[in-house]
Amino acid sequence: MGEGERTMSLMELKDISMDFKGRGKEKIGALVGVNLDIKEGEIIAVVGESGCGKTTLGKIIAGVHEPTEGELLFKGKNIKSLNKKEFREYRLGVQMVHQDSYAALNPNKTIFQSLSLPLFQHKLAKNNVEAVNILTEYFEEVGLTPADQFLEKYPHQLSGGQRQRILLARALSMKPKLIVADEPVSMVDVSLRISLLNLMTKMNEKYKISFIYITHDLGTARYIASHGRIVVMYLGRMIETNQIREAIESPKHPYFHALISAVPEANPKLRSEFIKKLPLRSLDMPSLLDLPTGCKFHPRCPYFDDRCIQEEPVLREFKGGRVACHHAEKVLEITSKED
Ligand SMILES: Nc1ncnc2c1ncn2[C@@H]1O[C@H](COP(=O)(O)OP(=O)(O)OP(=O)(O)O)[C@@H](O)[C@H]1O
Ligand code: SF4
Ligand SMILES: [Mg+2]
């Protein structure tokens, strides 16, 4: 892909926030002020611990949730001002592949019945013969051959890896521009993960499909997005973003540094000294219902000071990426000496 094409924006998130109502009607701020520009053909890995807002972000991008605040642009236009044809292009163009492939398929329908339905709904196929032909093409693409054997089956008759491939084929059959893959390999046998990740990178290269790859696993994030970007989330906020190689070799935010140090295979150069220091202050992730003041990481951060307690840092340009930390310069100086 040429550089010119790479700079085209497919989707933009502008100051997106998402509040949910808790059981006692309390407000849960699942996302706060997220800005993200997704380019055509780009792979972005979204990482962070459980509950940091990854799935919420994915669902907002795919149009499953409407954000409480902020704007979502598709090809430069606010999705609220798209005409019927453009809105259809957006809804078909952005597909989501879920973590739980069993829950994502109707257990009482054959794979053909489930996958042909959206083809008919969106007038991509006129009859069964056309639907079989289209699905056969994509089943071959994702390595499910002979396709007719799989089309006749029910979800429970297939393995997790096969169901995940079927979800990918279902997404591909809509000819998407962007696939939001939410932990697509976490429930799949370890031995099959790499082949599924390879399949996604192949789809990215062949069809120029952009991917948002949501995961809590830095190893697979590095694998799939080796030429892409990473977005690191903490308690609903984007706290670091950069090209993934640069980000993993030289993490800027203390939290991301700690995450990487905890996974030696992500970057063997970073030892676990830092993570040992980190829990000295607090092991626990604060609750979204009782957030700390200022920087949401300050109760766990070894570098915090008064400013961190009072003032929430904004995501700012730093060394080719962006980081939300008041003291990124000082932290980098200290951690580069330690590493
Ligand atoms: N429909 C909902 N109603 C109420 N709260 C919700 C809803 N969906 C998500 N949340 C809350 O919003 C926060 C973010 O959830 P989200 O599922 O986006 O996190 P995540 O990063 O995907 O976590 P995980 O790694 O466990 O999948 C959590 O506190 C979650 O409980
Ligand atoms: S702003 Fe302060 S508390 Fe937050 S990560 Fe940076 S140094 Fe730590
Ligand atoms: Mg999730």
Looking at residue 74, its pLDDT comes to 97
Strand pairing category for 77-78 and 69-74: antiparallel
| Atom 5 in ligand 2: residue holding the nearest Cα | 325
Quick one: which atom of ligand 2 is closest to the CA of 295? 4
The series of mean pLDDT values per 10 residues for the chain, 339 residues long, is 60 98 89 96 93 96 96 96 95 92 92 96 95 95 92 94 92 95 85 86 94 91 89 97 92 90 66 46 74 94 95 96 96 77
pLDDT at 188: 78
Residue 93, CA distances (Å) to 86, 130, 178, 254 in order: 10, 21, 6, 36
- Running DSSP on this structure, what letter comes out for residue 181? E
Cβ of 327 closer than 6 Å to ligand 2, yes or no, is: yes
Q: What is the pTM of this model?
A: 0.92
Q: Which residues contact 139 (CB under 8 A, 6 or more apart)?
A: 145, 147, 150, 151, 166, 169
Inter-residue contact 125 to 119 (CB < 8 Å):
yes
Q: What is the pLDDT of residue 276?
A: 46
- Ligand 2 pocket member 297 (CB < 6 A): yes
Nearest CA to ligand 1 atom 8: 56
Distance in Å, CA 324 to ligand 2 centroid: 8
How far, in Å, is the centroid of ligand 1 from the Cα of 332? 31
pLDDT at 310: 97
pLDDT at 130: 97
Provide the token pair at 124: 């991509």
| CA atoms within a 13 Å half-sphere pointing along the CA-CB vector of 214 | 24
Mutate to test the pocket of ligand 1, among 17, 18, 28 (most ligand atoms within 8 A of CB): 28
